[in-house]
Amino acid sequence: MNDNSEKIEDKLQFLREYLIAGDINNFRRYFLSLHTYDQGQFYLSLANEERKKIYAFLSPEEMADLFDTIEEDEEFIEDYLQEMNIQYAADMLSEMYTDNAVDILNQLEQEQQKEYLDLMPLDEAEEISDLLVYEDNTAGSIMTTEFVSIAAGLTIKEALLEVKRQSEEAETIYYLYVVNSKKQLVGVLSLRDLITRKDDELVENVMGTRLISVHVTDDQEEVAHTIRDYDLLAVPVIDLVDRLVGIITVDDIIDVIDEEARSDYSGLAGVDVDERSENPFVVASKRLPWLVTLLFLGMGTSTLISNYENMVSEVSILAVFISLITGTAGNAGTQSLAVAVRRLAEKEDKSRTIGRMILGELSSGLITGLVTGITVFLLVGIWQSNMVLGLVIGVAMLFAITIANLAGSFIPVLMDKLGFDPAVASGPFITTLSDLTSVFIYFNIAAYFLTAL
């Protein structure tokens, strides 16, 4: 632990003691000296009764700074609001950055949203209401309306005064967006450009016109790609008639990337990795649908094996290698799935068509299947002193891995084409499907060589 961390830990310990003792002066002195992130973490560590004391010690504006750092998907965010006096909570929400307040209110029922909005100042309430109408996971739902815009006809000197006037309410002033009389986005200036230019120059003569913007309805993942590809700190958001309606900052995009990564991992694992409920019945209810679906698919594999019961009883050694073939094919399919989901998520290599991607996975499946098949052919043949058995296992392995690779790349593409999240083609699903196809391939090849076995 570094010195800074130790100092923060010491302060947090003092804070808890001051809070319990009701020492408001020392509490505020130590608390307000912390970074807002550390304030938020301290708040989240408190019990219900301790949090209620904080509301008496801090103003709604000070609490808003703290809540701006708390993840909007924090599990107990609704409980935190209900602990507060409703007017205090409304005042806090109105002091927060608009996009963060919207994220919190989106977790509440419409009646609850209206209660808070009715208690806010009219202009803040209208600003938040405008953002609440956008669909989840779109640019409109994550943008903030607190930005700096300047008119194209201003001089640099006038623009500087305008920036000073607007900057107190703005979330960031890295970029200054230039608009015309219709509020349409026509250019952009960096803060550096504004400072280094002569006072009498016109903004429209020095602004950049190679604009990178996103539309309010664009998917948040596409917005993340835009900010990443162009190395932006913020990106402007426009509506159907090119009016500037908001901006999306890089800190919000980091949250989006984290959310999308968790979503993809949840899909690949076939479970919600963010589930935090300690109630085993709630946890089980979320996991059961996938498990039951996979159970029926697994029953198909068991039924298929039972159809070859006579063959297994006649050549019992075949049963020994079932798990070897199904397990290897399942692993290959999951690898192919991970690669396919990743490429679909990036959507940046336009020259590489989906057909080429699938063909590439099919080719790699053939190569890995061939190498693995030859290896297992030699190992089994020597181990069992039966080269025909080794050939059966080797050929089955070749085809099982190839088919698994094909399924692992094709199924996510199919789901993407149908409008579903390709990560839903989860690892467990691909593995179970590979079991079914591998068993079918294995026993059909074995039946062909049955007399030699």
User: Tell me: the pLDDT tens digits for 148-203?
Assistant: 999 999 999 999 999 989 987 787 888 999 999 999 999 999 888 888 999 999 99
Q: Is residue 351's pLDDT more than 50? A: no
Token digits of residue 228: 């990443």
Whichever domain contains 153, its CATH number is: 3.10.580.10
Q: Same domain for 429 and 289?
A: yes
Structure confidence at residue 267 as a pLDDT band (50, 70, 90): low
Whichever domain contains 385, its CATH number is: 1.10.357.20
Q: Same domain for 285 and 358?
A: yes
Is 125 a domain residue? yes
Least reliable range by pLDDT among 131-145, 390-404, 422-436: 422-436
Is 272 a domain residue? no
Q: Same domain for 69 and 111?
A: yes
Is 286 a domain residue? yes
Neighbours of 28 (CB within 10 A): 16
Q: Same domain for 299 and 245?
A: no
pLDDT tens-digit series, residues 34-49: 889 899 989 988 988 8
Total domains in the chain come to 3
Is 453 a domain residue? no
Q: Same domain for 158 and 129?
A: no
* Residue at 225: amino acid letter: H
Q: By residue range, what is the domain housing residue 233?
A: 149-258
Q: Which residue has the higher pLDDT, 168 or 247?
A: 247
Q: How large is the average pLDDT for residues 369-398?
A: 92
Q: Which residue has the higher pLDDT, 352 or 64?
A: 64
Q: Same domain for 239 and 300?
A: no
Task: Please give the share of the chain, as a percent, with pLDDT higher than 90.
Answer: 38
Residue 272 pLDDT: 52
Is 61 a domain residue? yes
Q: Same domain for 223 and 290?
A: no
Q: Same domain for 101 and 191?
A: no
Q: Same domain for 237 and 297?
A: no
Q: Is residue 427's pLDDT more than 70? A: no
* Run of H or E residues at 268: helix 250-269
Is 23 a domain residue? yes
Is 440 a domain residue? yes
Q: Same domain for 100 and 48?
A: yes
Q: Is residue 341's pLDDT more than 80? A: no
Cα 12–chain centre separation: 31
Q: Is residue 95's pLDDT more than 50? A: yes
Q: Which residue has the higher pLDDT, 139 or 358?
A: 139
Token digits of residue 450: 């049955």
Structure confidence at residue 339 as a pLDDT band (50, 70, 90): confident
Q: Which residue has the higher pLDDT, 360 or 415?
A: 360
Q: Is residue 9's pLDDT more than 80? A: no
Helices (H), 22-109: 24-31, 36-44, 48-57, 60-67, 77-83, 86-95, 98-105
Q: Is residue 104's pLDDT more than 50? A: yes
